[in-house]
Structure 1
Amino acid sequence: MSPALGQRPATAEGEALHGRIDSIDGLRAVAVAAVMAFHYGLGLDGGFLGVDLFFVISGFVITRLLLAERARTPRPSLGSFWFRRAKRLLPTVLLVVAGVQAWMLLEDPPGLRPTVNAQTLAALTYTSNWYAVLGHVGYWDVAQEQAPLNHLWSLAVEEQFYLLWPVLLIGLTAWGTGRIRRPDRLLLAAAAVCYLLAYLLSLPGAHERAYLGTDTRAGALLLGAVIAFRPGLFSRLSWPAAAVLGLLWCTADIGSAAFYAWQLPLAGISAVALIDAVAHGELFRKALSSRPLLWLGHRSYGLYLWHWPVWVYLGVNHPEWSQGTKVPVAVCASVLLSAAGYRLVERPVRTSSWRPRVLLPALAVCGALVALTTAAPVTAPVDAHDGPIVTGPNAH
């Protein structure tokens, strides 16, 4: 995550300041496990809030990297930052989207390709969240087997944040020197505005704009940025935060009036307190740094991307399977695919010495080839909806 990635400082404080924080990777494993448990119908009703834990982690890690870069040079290169993000994120997305398109071309499931084609183009342009919002189709109401790329909305939110936040942060740190003594307070206020906007835009039975909007979901990312500026600010709340987060993951309901009023912001605050304690202290570090969690955490990005298409594929091709059969198959297939992608694509590209003038055109060509597959003839028309079809986890 930083130039000191390979260094292992002797103290937790040194690691938090300079090196990769292993326990944060362990938290990523916990977050993706919560999302998968929710998607696979394993009784974790609020497990979708694992996405918010991902958001807070991303805000913390990215801001920490940018601040370290800002400390090294007064004029950090935005181009270099965005190129590193492209190396880290684009190859796996292309692999997953290409895999789903290959399924479409080989089997052409009835009524599925028009939705997948639209979601493919949205995924390639990192606009999946706004595609779903502007489609005006109930996110939770359409059958799950119609949208295997629906979960990429969260990736789009993060990528849009990665595009805008470095510019704002450099401006804040440059202009604010000597003027803004506590940028963490400014970020807390901005996060509060985002959560308030989500509350104001949530409508009974129509949560897409509040749940999927970049502006309404940026609160969690900004909370993560707060503890990059002010380490330890929330760490005293660690034990209550862990308890509250666990309770919310078990009980939160996106359809309730309480969700946007207090559950969503409380989930963000709890997540940031937990991350603050993990990153800047010893609490939970040993458990979260266990080898199985670290192994999953390093592959959590690919695991998140693969787990939903795998679930949809099994639902379409094996509707006769019971949940007890489908869940272990889906988990094993998702882990194997993410491990293979990490070994063969994600890690080699991320650690490569390829320069932008070589890698970026190569990624652009791959993206264009995937996009061209959406132009193949569609044999089965989309059903009953005028707009694009999206779906949510466990929708039936």
Structure 2
Amino acid sequence: MPEVSLALEQRPVTVRGESAPKRIDSIDGLRAVAVAAVMAFHYGTGLGGGFLGVDLFFVISGFVITRLLLTERARTPRPSLGSFWFRRVKRLLPAVLLVVGAVQVWMLLQRPVGLRHTVNAQTLAALTYTSNWYAVLGHVGYWDVTQEQAPLNHLWSLAVEEQFYLVWPLLLFALTTWGTGRIRRPQLLLLATAAVCYLLAYLLYLPGDPDRAYLGTDTRAGALLLGAAIAFRPGLFSRFCRPAVAVLGWLWCTADIGSAAFYAWQLPLAGLAAAALIDAVAHGERFRKALSSRPLLWLGHRSYGLYLWHWPVWIYLVVNHPEWSQGAKASTAVCMSVLLSAAGYRLVERPVRTSPWRPRVLLPVLAVCCATLALVTTAPVAAPVDARRNGPIVTGPNAP
């Protein structure tokens, strides 16, 4: 079997084999932990820094995708980027269409006051994977519009990942092709670039309006690059596993998304701690048994759908049952989200991902679905309210 050098160091990292790398069960367990933290934060159950579960997702994604690309690069000198991107489409888009379609059905059937316009705009942003930039430029972020007006607000993180998936394969193949003999330690280059991203987040932070710093692709790519670094150099951070667990636990309980300290040092610290944990779990035995338990694996395999469903379900309950207690809404939202994600995984995600459909068959079908959802958004509705200015949201050249 041929051996291809990938990371050009003093002792090159190599990958053997012709098939995709074996799935790591404990990483799926970490996905379950990450989505549980995000849900706990969004449902107001006391985990004040649970939103950092998104950063754990980012580091996992950077690691898994880079590991996959390096294996593909080892298998053939000219990997097909079209095939890689098509597999990403099969994996990610159908579940998004299902959730966005369900939210649009809710809008059409119930017509909740104050939601339709924002949902329409967020639907178009979701279909083009630009939700994070729409949130920043359209003032529909965490501090601008009340959460009850934005049931698709959480899709910003998917947009960041998809934009990364679009650019990173090109850079990685260039790095492993034309960087031969020039870049001795590519993981150091990735770490330096991640540091620049975290520095940019700190520089762009504005007190009371952190959306640009928190939602931008350029400011959040640091966690994805940390994941890529540990894929290039296994064991890079694994020795710090136990302190990393303590740091993550502390930050998930105490971090404040609106504080200057969060962007100055808490955000990069959370990314490094997540990278150390993932590195140890993926390349060692620490925590593997606990993270590979059947309940965590079951949730981990459905974590993508669980993330997609949990926030629209919560908004649905908040809008329709304001009289319910926080605990009643949270417990109902958890049950509904788990059931919907399980159904979506069984009926949509897994069948499409494992189907033998070729691009010329599947892509037109998905394009028709996207076009249909886009047409639904053309119905005229009243403008939503911008909470900061008590007026309609305006974007473009006339925006204040």
TM-score class, shorter-chain normalisation, is over 0.9
1:142 CA displacement: 3.0
Structure-2-length-normalised TM-score: 0.91
Q: Is the contact made by 2:16 and 2:74 (CA closer than 8 Å) also made in structure 1?
A: no
Query: How far does the alpha carbon of each residue in 1:44-83 deviate from its partner, in whole angstroms, 9 at most, with x for none?
Result: 0000000000000000000000000000011100000000
Alignment of 1:37-186 (within 5 A): 37-136=40-139, 139-186=142-189
The residue aligned with 1:375 is 378
CA distance in 2, matches of 1:50, 1:385: 33
The yes-or-no answer on 1:348 pairing with 2:354 is no
Instruction: Indicate which of 385, 389, 393 corresponds to 2:391.
Output: 385
Q: Is the contact made by 2:194 and 2:225 (CA closer than 8 Å) also made in structure 1?
A: yes
1:137 CA displacement: 5.0
Q: Is the contact made by 2:48 and 2:253 (CA closer than 8 Å) also made in structure 1?
A: yes
The yes-or-no answer on 1:187 pairing with 2:193 is no
CA distance in 2, matches of 1:109, 1:42: 26
CA distance in 1, matches of 2:243, 2:383: 51
DSSP-derived class of the 2:180 partner: coil
Alignment of 1:304-315 (within 5 A): 304-315=307-318
1:151 CA displacement: 0.3
The residue aligned with 2:3 is none
The yes-or-no answer on 1:268 pairing with 2:268 is no
Q: Which amino acid aligns with 1:267?
A: A
DSSP-derived class of the 1:278 partner: helix
1:121 CA displacement: 0.3
Q: Which amino acid aligns with 2:249?
A: G
The residue aligned with 2:324 is 321
CA distance in 1, matches of 2:339, 2:102: 14
Q: Is the contact made by 2:141 and 2:211 (CA closer than 8 Å) also made in structure 1?
A: yes
Alignment of 1:271-310 (within 5 A): 271-310=274-313
Q: Is the contact made by 2:156 and 2:215 (CA closer than 8 Å) also made in structure 1?
A: yes
CA distance in 2, matches of 1:69, 1:152: 29
Q: Which amino acid aligns with 1:79?
A: G
Q: Which amino acid aligns with 1:282?
A: E
Alignment of 1:182-261 (within 5 A): 182-261=185-264
CA distance in 1, matches of 2:383, 2:376: 17
CA distance in 2, matches of 1:97, 1:20: 29
Q: In the superposition, relative to structure 1, how do residues 232 and 56 fare at CA in structure 2: closer, same or farther (>3 Å)?
A: same
Query: How far does the alpha carbon of each residue in 1:261-312 deviate from its partner, in whole angstroms, 9 at most, with x for none?
Result: 0000000000000000000000000000000000000000000000000000
1:138 CA displacement: 5.4
1:376 CA displacement: 2.3
Q: Which amino acid aligns with 1:343?
A: R
Query: How far does the alpha carbon of each residue in 1:21-58 deviate from its partner, in whole angstroms, 9 at most, with x for none?
Result: 00000000000000000000000000000000000000
The residue aligned with 1:392 is none
Instruction: Indicate which of 327, 334, 338 corresponds to 1:335.
Output: 338
CA distance in 2, matches of 1:376, 1:339: 32
CA distance in 2, matches of 1:242, 1:125: 36
Q: Is the contact made by 2:208 and 2:258 (CA closer than 8 Å) also made in structure 1?
A: yes
Q: Is the contact made by 2:151 and 2:312 (CA closer than 8 Å) also made in structure 1?
A: yes
The residue aligned with 1:10 is none
Query: How far does the alpha carbon of each residue in 1:349-381 deviate from its partner, in whole angstroms, 9 at most, with x for none?
Result: 000000000001100100111111111243x54
Task: Give percent identity, aligned residues only.
Answer: 83
The residue aligned with 1:360 is 363
Consecutive unaligned residues of structure 1, counting only runs of 5 or more, are 1-12, 390-396
1:388 CA displacement: 6.2
Q: Is the contact made by 1:60 and 1:226 (CA closer than 8 Å) also made in structure 2?
A: yes
Q: Is the contact made by 1:152 and 1:305 (CA closer than 8 Å) also made in structure 2?
A: yes
CA distance in 2, matches of 1:157, 1:163: 10
Aligned-pair Cα RMSD in Å: 1.6
1:324 CA displacement: 1.6
Q: Is the contact made by 2:131 and 2:156 (CA closer than 8 Å) also made in structure 1?
A: yes
DSSP-derived class of the 2:393 partner: coil
Q: Is the contact made by 2:140 and 2:150 (CA closer than 8 Å) also made in structure 1?
A: no
DSSP-derived class of the 2:103 partner: helix
Q: In the superposition, relative to structure 1, how do residues 388 and 286 fare at CA in structure 2: closer, same or farther (>3 Å)?
A: farther
1:347 CA displacement: 0.2
CA distance in 2, matches of 1:79, 1:331: 37
1:141 CA displacement: 4.7
CA distance in 2, matches of 1:288, 1:147: 33
